[in-house]
Amino acid sequence: MRNKRLLMCLVIAILAFIVVPFCVNAEDKTIKIGAMYPMTGRAGLYGKDSVAAAEMAIDEINGKGGVAGYKIDATFTDSKVKPAYAVRVAKRYITEDEVDFLFGVVSSGVGLAVTEISQQYKTIFIGTDHASTRLTVDNFQPYYFRVSNNTFQSMTAGALYLKELAETKPWKKIAFIGPDYAYGHSQWDEIRYNLDRFGVEYEVVGEYWPKIYAPDYTSYITSILKDKPDVLISGFWGGDTVAFIKQAQAYGLFEKALYFHPDAGGNYELMSAMGAELPDGLVLGARHYNNWPDTELNRNFVQEFKKRTGRFPTYAAEGAYAGIYAIAHAVEVVGNPDDTEALVKALEGLKIKLPEDPEGFTSYIRPETHQITQVMAIGTTMPNEDFPPAKKMLGNWKIYKAEDLDPPAEYIEMKRKK
């Protein structure tokens, strides 16, 4: 009998320990963010950088006392780059941890799965990296916002670049190589859509679809050489770019065709991996650059990141950093992180000064698509040892105005009708 009572007391004590912190937490004013990033394999690099940059933004904001009396508290979970797994994590975040925002995701495949959960549970999902245009156009839903460029924007900038190029250095024949999944295919569709829209004449001489993460491109390279394109448009992602460039260099491809890679070619990790080996004169673009724009905000962002992690950031970092600031701005406008509908309204009208904004421009969310609209730059590889271990960086920038890059209304209409 006594034993039973003792047991009872113990159970109550344990329950109290478990429940009390929750009660305290609820009174504690926090903005809860449930973040998902890949931590393993090839995409792990982007996951790690995103987490570091998000934490950096959180520390900056909380260090100044938080927003509207709230502190930001983020939990990070490995997405494993598996949509089904990320969906389970997102559901757990919403139902058990009661997060105010879903956050993150490097892969568009994972993003497309998580955006459905966001819609179903009416929980705002801030996309920081994945680039598939489908999230803001075809599969648009009101609780999704993206704070980094999508492929349509980079492909529009790319098409404008090629149009200008034709005036100084005539070209006609193009070939494409990119990974055989949504990301690669949308880039190819979007660049042609935009070239057509701008009335640029071109002839497609080859189209190649290796698997993502394929280690060997030699046969593709020799086949591209046979096609003799003037411009090779590339849609590779991540480390695949490194492997392709090294193998193509061995065949002298870059002397015979212009290598043009506007969405993810200009990623810093390519420069840091290849050092002096990286050829000059490749035309590349990315969603964030460590050496452009040369503004105080960008310099501080890059140097602070370096101080925290010991390395320069990849493009993914700035997206995560921007995402945290977007949340902070929205909560500041609304006054709390609980009124989801008001937060959606606040995010729709969001204007936010980010490290990747040049002087005189402020990024903004376009209400029809919930897509951030930003200036884009495309550069050419050239020697620059300011960001070691890279020995080459981009320069000779061509800048494209933000409002010219967004998908036109008829494009959105056409895609949403389908």
Residues binding another protein (CB under 8 A): 40-42, 44-45, 48, 180, 206-211, 213-216, 218-223, 225-226, 238-240, 242-243, 246-247, 250-252, 269-270, 272-277, 311
Cα distance between residue 368 and residue 17, in whole Å = 47
Number of CB atoms found within 10 A of residue 201's CB: 8
- Which token pair is 79? 């997405």
Minimum CB separation from another protein for residue 213, in Å? Answer: 5
- Which token pair is 323? 């995402």
CB-nearer residue toward another protein: 114 or 224: 224
CB-nearer residue toward another protein: 81 or 402: 81
Q: How does strand 283-285 pair with strand 376-383? A: antiparallel
Minimum CB separation from another protein for residue 211, in Å? Answer: 5
Cα distance between residue 188 and residue 178, in whole Å = 8
Minimum CB separation from another protein for residue 244, in Å? Answer: 9
| DSSP letter (8 states) at residue 67 | B
Number of CB atoms found within 10 A of residue 16's CB: 11
Largest CA distance in the chain: 94
Minimum CB separation from another protein for residue 247, in Å? Answer: 5
CB-nearer residue toward another protein: 253 or 324: 253
Minimum CB separation from another protein for residue 40, in Å? Answer: 7
Minimum CB separation from another protein for residue 317, in Å? Answer: 13
CB-nearer residue toward another protein: 391 or 398: 391
* Amino acid present at 89: V
- Which token pair is 78? 């490995």
CB-nearer residue toward another protein: 34 or 210: 210
DSSP string, 8-37: HHHHHHHHHHHHHHHHHHHHS-EEEEEEEE
37 burial via Cβ count (<10 Å: 0-12, 13-18, 19+): buried
CB-nearer residue toward another protein: 125 or 387: 387
| DSSP letter (8 states) at residue 313 | P
